[in-house]
Structure 1
Amino acid sequence: MTPQEMESRIVRYGELQPCKTAFIDAHTPGSDQKENFTIIGGGVSESPDQHVHITIPHGFNIGAAGQPPKCRNSLHDHRTAEAFFVLSGRWRFFWGRYGDAGEVVLEKGDIFNIPTGIFRGFENIGTDYGMIMAILGGDDAGGGVMWAPQVIEDAADHGLVLAESGKLYDTKKGEALPSGVSPMPLMAADELAKRGEPTTAQVLPNHVARYWDMVALSDKTPAKVIGETGILRDKPGFEVNFITRGSASDTTTSFDYPSVLMPVTGHWKVTWDGGSATLAPGDTMSVPEGMAHTVLPSMTGEAAIYQIVGTADPAGLTWQG
């Protein structure tokens, strides 16, 4: 594959195109400054304004959320896996019916594999604009987002109505639900009762991995972070590996499914038969299935990169608290 062809599979951090109206809480005070990015796959955006950088199916989606300090993402759930790692900033993740069942604070490089069946939200508690990168299971990311009832009610008070089809309508722009289209119903009591309320102590050991722990574990060989035998054991339709300078190898690697490379620190050179490319933190590179390649740091200093590989596994863990 030529360098030009591969460049079309690389999304540079500085070229990311945000959407500020991606979700139902886009007008809700406290959430109205967030930016959503869909990097690979269709994602779960509810807005036609969302730009998709790479549409090639991978078996999973890659996205991102960028938020200024004190901005939060409202309580929601997905039908498939959702994992986040912090690219920049300091973030508080919280969960439960009202967001008060438990919480964890994540720093740069930390990763959180959140099981389905739990309402979750997050906020930037740092002092600068921050970015978290998201991995969502499935090519259709589970068919959308399920919102806590109070989020839908608050959104309506600020002009945004979600149709049962999953499409947003902005009454501030004069939009209204088309004839015959009903609003998204609030989640029924029996469905709400199925949502987990795990404590922080229950979630942390099996769902959160810290950057510096992964650096230590990957000093000789890459660490499997999410996978059947990973630090966070799960089969969400993808595996996540963590590679550092100490565990990087000039041996070529290829996979049966598409893979994605996402640097956290340092610069990384990816080489294949036909060319090479250098990636920086915040860049995302899609590697075709079956393509042999090497991944090596290109400069001195701290260097760590996440590698996401598609699998044929099901949708991942559902909380069984």
Structure 2
Amino acid sequence: MRNPVHVVRFGELKPCRTAFIDAHTPGSDQKENFTIIGGGVSESADQHVHLSDQIGFNIGAAGQPPKCNNSLHTHRTAEVFFVLKGRWRFFWGQHGSAGEVILNEGDIFNIPTPVFRGFENVGDDYGMIMAVLGGDDAGGGVVWAPHVLAAAEAHGLVLGDNGRLYDRQLDETLPPGVAPITPLTEQQLTAFPELPNAAVVPHYVKRYWDLMALSDHQPCPVIGAGALIHDRPGFEVDFVSRGSLTSAYQSDRPEVLMGMRGHWKLTVDGTDTLINPGDTVLVDAGASRTLVPAVSGEASLYRVRPTEDPAGPTLGF
């Protein structure tokens, strides 16, 4: 019988350092990408998939040293981040100049799908952000800004129209029938909105300490129909703090628990599992469970469950 609980420990995450087109571009060449649940959006065959379950969304992560950035891109499906470690600047627009916001540990950002976005570690230490991506098939879902493709080619990386990277530094060539991906034209770029901070930050960003303050509304719906961010990206996100899921419950959907602060004891069908900060735990549908803080002090995590909505958020409120 399948164990209903599947744990990926933070300390056991295996990075891919050649996941995307900007892997050789100075300023972006030190980033690490992690594929935790599902296939993710990596363009490299070198990625390690920790759990291949298809549950309606993907879980990934990005780790970067200070001053390292992730180049401008957009997605065809939802992309939600929360900051696990460090201090991060998120910026958006075709040239990264339309708007920006600084996020600290625990803050969550549901980035509007049709907007070009990038992010940078502006802290003093190695930082980590956790990601939720809409849909089971997130492969090929990344669209890069034209200048990112040009910079990558100048440093030996070419993205094929099959969604795979080819490294000329390793003498790799595009196979027969595969051509370099065609950059977006200026006319095509006009379809991607340039949104100011006032159109993004109030509606798509929620701060960790504001969520912690909602102690009488726990678990707190953060993303979903009727949530603080009232969007329908194909999954819903709840914020869970100390003592909010102490009674046994069941779910008719799989759920993912992502540790943020403190330590939690998850009990499923009588078996205990400890959830630490940075751990990702998939719990199958149907199993009875309780979730309680394992020690005294601050404790929080994010819970993600699939919905029947299309795997891409709307734009506009």
TM-score, normalised by the number of residues in structure 2: 0.97
Contact 1:79 1:142 (C-alpha < 8 Å) held by counterparts: no
SS of residue paired to 1:172:
helix
Contact 2:42 2:139 (C-alpha < 8 Å) held by counterparts: no
User: Structure 2 CA distance, aligned partners of 1:48 and 1:92?
Assistant: 29
Aligned-pair CA distance for 1:249:
2.9
Aligned-pair CA distance for 1:144:
2.4
Structure 1 290/191 Cα, relative in aligned 2: closer, same or farther at 3 Å? farther
* Corresponding residue number in structure 1 for 2:7: 10
* Corresponding residue number in structure 1 for 2:124: 127
User: Structure 2 CA distance, aligned partners of 1:220 and 1:181?
Assistant: 52
SS of residue paired to 1:61:
strand
* Corresponding residue number in structure 2 for 1:262: 258
Aligned-pair CA distance for 1:315:
2.4
Equivalent residue in structure 2 for 1:299, among 279, 295, 300? 295
1:213 aligned onto 2:210: yes
Equivalent residue in structure 1 for 2:30, among 33, 54, 65? 33
- Tell me whether 51-60 or 138-147 shows the greater mean CA deviation: 138-147
* Corresponding residue number in structure 2 for 1:108: 105
Equivalences for residues 70-109 of structure 1 within 5 A? 70-109=67-106
- Which amino acid letter does the alignment assign opposite residue 191 of structure 1? Q
TM-score, normalised by the number of residues in structure 1: 0.96
Aligned-pair CA distance for 1:289:
1.2
* Corresponding residue number in structure 2 for 1:285: 281
Percent of aligned positions that are identical? 60
User: Structure 1 CA distance, aligned partners of 2:119 and 2:268?
Assistant: 38
Equivalences for residues 136-215 of structure 1 within 5 A? 136-141=133-138, 143-215=140-212
Residues 224-268 of structure 1: per-residue CA shift (max 9 Å, x gap) = 00011111110111100011114x232122222211001110000
Aligned-pair CA distance for 1:6:
5.0
User: Structure 1 CA distance, aligned partners of 2:65 and 2:237?
Assistant: 27
Moved over 4 A (4+): none
User: Structure 2 CA distance, aligned partners of 1:82 and 1:220?
Assistant: 25
Contact 1:78 1:142 (C-alpha < 8 Å) held by counterparts: no
User: Structure 2 CA distance, aligned partners of 1:68 and 1:290?
Assistant: 40
Residues 128-165 of structure 1: per-residue CA shift (max 9 Å, x gap) = 00000000000012632100000000000000000001
Contact 1:68 1:129 (C-alpha < 8 Å) held by counterparts: yes
Aligned-pair CA distance for 1:320:
5.2
1:43 aligned onto 2:35: no
SS of residue paired to 1:87:
strand
* Corresponding residue number in structure 1 for 2:20: 23
User: Structure 2 CA distance, aligned partners of 1:156 and 1:219?
Assistant: 53
User: Structure 2 CA distance, aligned partners of 1:255 and 1:223?
Assistant: 17
Contact 2:40 2:139 (C-alpha < 8 Å) held by counterparts: no
Contact 1:42 1:52 (C-alpha < 8 Å) held by counterparts: yes
Q: RMSD over aligned Cα, in angstroms?
A: 1.4
User: Structure 1 CA distance, aligned partners of 2:313 and 2:217?
Assistant: 29
User: Structure 2 CA distance, aligned partners of 1:192 and 1:256?
Assistant: 41
User: Structure 2 CA distance, aligned partners of 1:180 and 1:222?
Assistant: 51
- Which amino acid letter does the alignment assign opposite residue 42 of structure 1? G
- Tell me whether 63-72 or 213-222 shows the greater mean CA deviation: 213-222
Aligned residues: 317
User: Structure 1 CA distance, aligned partners of 2:298 and 2:245?
Assistant: 16
Residues 46-91 of structure 1: per-residue CA shift (max 9 Å, x gap) = 0000000000111000000000000000000110100000000000
User: Structure 1 CA distance, aligned partners of 2:154 and 2:94?
Assistant: 20
User: Structure 1 CA distance, aligned partners of 2:76 and 2:312?
Assistant: 9
User: Structure 1 CA distance, aligned partners of 2:50 and 2:215?
Assistant: 31
1:233 aligned onto 2:230: yes
Aligned-pair CA distance for 1:175:
0.5
Aligned-pair CA distance for 1:220:
4.7
1:69 aligned onto 2:69: no
Contact 1:111 1:210 (C-alpha < 8 Å) held by counterparts: yes
* Corresponding residue number in structure 2 for 1:54: 51
